[in-house]
Chains A and B, each alone.
Chain A
């Protein structure tokens, strides 16, 4: 048998017109997974894994060791039972002959194997391995076609292949020889292309070993790490000597890494006069519109410079820098024009215009939404104020909610939509609104991403919660429920925001009352929404609550790092007050590792099972445990100790000492153990049985208010 230890490197490059920068990293990792899957399943991959990376005009995968030929595969085929294959005197029957014929082997080559079901006739078949070239010719075009894209196109005709942009060349070299196939009318070859303007348009390659170096010589840095380092290095060199630094922006660094094949950094200047504009606006123009890094001085204030990443080696005549400066100057001039024009009237003067801006056709205009937000934010602030712990002012929450959406009608936000909220906050501040109100407007879309902070003040939290709860209640009421990747109204983000604002600011919010308030508010603005019926409103409330709790579970698991069953246990015992639920969760996590806890939790599970088996509680539940029915010492003991523990733990719970309360409960373990050792719950005597069931039911109810232990996964306790 031939075992091919001959292996060679595979170089696979998909040459493409400029791929959108934000999609390259993901596509490269998909290509890696797909290719590895095919090479593994076709038994071609030898040891070293596939790696993949990308640049604007190429996706590259390299497999350092691919077998030149698939190993042969020996396979045993079982035929008829021996008793059927041979007759009494041991001569082969027709069954044996036809099996041999089917296998293409002479009878002499057949043999018998013994199996648990008896002896069987068998044949050995060797599946010949195919040359890797042949397999790759089938697999590589499939790999190209399987790379998923957010929005693909066709270019050779409507029945042609789809990809993110037209493919213009393919390199597929196994040990230096081209794999033969066709994709989108292109046959792979040895030739790649260099940088559009600085490199050769045809570069002959030998394989993976000379790939990176040949590309580098043609001004393409194929690996993103190399490009990223070059950018960071040049930024450092340009800023350090001027005692400046780039405004930190990892997302932008990532973007420019994938926007250029040979990135270089240049420093440009802008008119110092523009520094009067708020830096949020300047940075947005530079980052989002021009992909420039803003530059700060040592105090962290913006300096009149920017860093542009260009796709060339240098800018010897300064022409490129001058061009970028001119473009940025024009953009800043626009921004200043908007800043001044918008403020010819006050922020509140934009309110009437919101009546013409639709939020959602059935949910009315932004004017309607603002009315709802005012009501909700005021309600929240009043609740907090009345709780006595938080200095919230309903009047400020109301004012902030009233002005929160006004900037949607300004020129600035029309031009820079990503500045919504921020622009309103800046205008409010410039026009003398209370600082608390201005920051609340500024922050009320927060948190906009997992990395983003929550609003900085209490009023901002009230407006942010009001906005998000209203969006959730409204959209669920009209059936705009997120599904799969489609979530046009950002409801997942809204629900995550609700949870994070409550948890991080430790707000005393009853989720069910908050959601009910939001749904009730919907009925008045706009008035035509038909939600009057109690049951309809109840159904919406339930959906919204479940949706929010789902996000809460996600955050507690994925971000706070709690075990999933602990999260379920704590939330099952009550999730209306999320802050309290997390306190219970923390206590549970600590107590779980102590010695009495695990057996006790198992006992609680057992109790729940017994009660479930006993049928509906109405059949067996007594109004109260009757001590005179106790027959065993162990039940008397459990009853007595549970009563003491209940008093103690209730006291501890009241002061929020959940850990201590759980400790008290864990102390019941000996009594519980003894009960199960000595007492037979489902005894003959009906009254005694009912009494025991009632004892257990009371125990379970009493001690499940911190966490539902039955939710804990037994094996992991």
Chain B
């Protein structure tokens, strides 16, 4: 008898029409972090594989200045595309990325508060922090942390950054990366990401399915390996041309140096590499070599960015005091 009652409860819970829509979830998280003194940024307009690659993370975690920022970053992973046919895997998924620099002492508690803020009752769900050290060989970045599991579902990557662009970080930033589709599916009680309610009027599938199909076709079948490789090499060469000129410059010229465009080119390389990889035209050995080439660009960008910041330091905006304090 007992089992029957339980089952009914479950049926009533899912799917849950009162649960927040996909866009409401984004509003809620943005409001939460905005209230905690985060700058609300917009997605970066170059293809990236993860929110970490947004300059608001990759560059801002370098150097001493405190910073707090939150943004949604659509993240493209060509090899994960499934033509919109797999209920869980996507060519492009959305991450909500939060960077807190320096990392406050109560950051785990605040993170858990953010889950409460989007309607998760932590006494009724099993939340755990399981060891998972994040690493991005293309960015020369790594950190220590966990994946946060909600009833066995991975919903957030929680990382204390130790190194970025090959530079040891001081202070340490904490990065919270929420997997928005997964959290929304959990809240709405749907099994298929394309059934998510995006807004009151549209489903995720209505808005994104065609994109998933077309980019899967392109990544796996239509992207021309020769052309893609050429694009990679062009972007790489252009980045190298720019970066190669930095060292000899005088202070004034360094101030004006276009390091941010150089970073954009590095990002393009990273995306084109992912595309070649999905296309299945890279051998394991070449893979390691190409990753190494992108990493070299990323590390040089990080180095020159820091150098440029120190030479501009005095004139730049002073850190706002409130940023350094704990939440509690």
A residues in contact (CB < 8 Å) with B: 17-18, 20-22, 56, 151, 153-159, 165-166, 168, 196-198, 259-260, 290, 308, 310-312, 315-320, 322-324, 326-330, 333-334, 337, 356-358, 361, 365
Contacts and interface: CB of A to CB of B under 8 A. Distances in A.
Interface in B122-156: 122-131, 133, 143-144, 146, 150-153
B86 A319 contact: no
A322 B133 CA distance: 28
Contact of B128 (A151, A153, A311, A337): A311
13 contacts: A18-B146, A21-B131, A22-B131, A155-B172, A157-B102, A320-B124, A323-B125, A323-B150, A323-B153, A326-B153, A328-B152, A330-B191, A358-B284
Contact of A361 (B86, B108, B143, B285): B285
A269 B139 CA distance: 42
A317 B124 contact: yes
Interface of B: 6-7, 9-10, 13-14, 86-88, 102-103, 105, 108, 112, 122-131, 133, 143-144, 146, 150-153, 160, 162, 168-172, 186, 191, 283-285
Given A18-B129, A151-B144, A337-B86, A323 B284 contact: no
Contacts of A326: 153, 191
A320 B151 contact: yes
Nearest to B112: A196
A290 to B, nearest CB: 6
B13 A358 contact: no
Contacts of B10: 318-319, 322
A185 to B, nearest CB: 8
A615 B267 CA distance: 74
A259 B160 CA distance: 20
Contacts of A198: 123
Nearest to A328: B152
Contacts of A358: 283-285
B156 to A, nearest CB: 13
Contacts of A155: 103, 160, 172
Contacts of A259: 128, 130
B151 to A, nearest CB: 3
Contacts of A290: 152
Nearest to B168: A158
Contacts of A318: 6-7, 9-10
Contact of B151 (A18, A21, A323): A323
B123 A17 contact: no
B144 A153 contact: yes
A154 B86 contact: no
A241 to B, nearest CB: 12
B124 to A, nearest CB: 5
A356 B284 contact: yes
Contacts of A153: 143-144, 160, 162, 172
Given A22-B131, A259-B130, A320-B151, 11 more contacts: A153-B160, A260-B128, A311-B126, A311-B128, A318-B10, A319-B13, A319-B124, A320-B126, A323-B150, A326-B153, A356-B283
A333 B151 contact: no
Nearest to B87: A330
A7 B144 CA distance: 41
B13 A322 contact: yes
Given A155-B160, A157-B171, A320 B125 contact: yes
A166 B170 CA distance: 15
B152 A308 contact: yes
Nearest to B89: A334
Contacts of A157: 102, 170-172
Given A290-B152, A333-B87, A358-B283, A312 B126 contact: yes
A682 B41 CA distance: 96
Contacts of B126: 308, 310-312, 315, 320, 323-324
A628 to B, nearest CB: 74
A56 B129 CA distance: 9
A710 to B, nearest CB: 51
Given A323-B152, A327-B153, A356-B283, A165 B144 contact: yes
Nearest to B169: A158
In the A-B complex, the 6 residue pairs with the closest CB atoms: A323-B151, A20-B131, A158-B170, A18-B129, A153-B144, A310-B126
Nearest to A186: B105
A449 to B, nearest CB: 21
Contacts of A22: 131
A151 B133 contact: yes
A168 B160 CA distance: 15
Contacts of B13: 317, 319, 322
A301 B231 CA distance: 54
A154 B162 contact: yes
Nearest to B143: A153
Contacts of B168: 158
Nearest to A198: B123
> Looking at B129, B162, B171, which has the most chain A CB atoms within 10 Å of its CB?
B129
Nearest to A292: B152
Contacts of A310: 126
A357 to B, nearest CB: 5
> Looking at B13, B151, B160, B186, which has the most chain A CB atoms within 10 Å of its CB?
B151
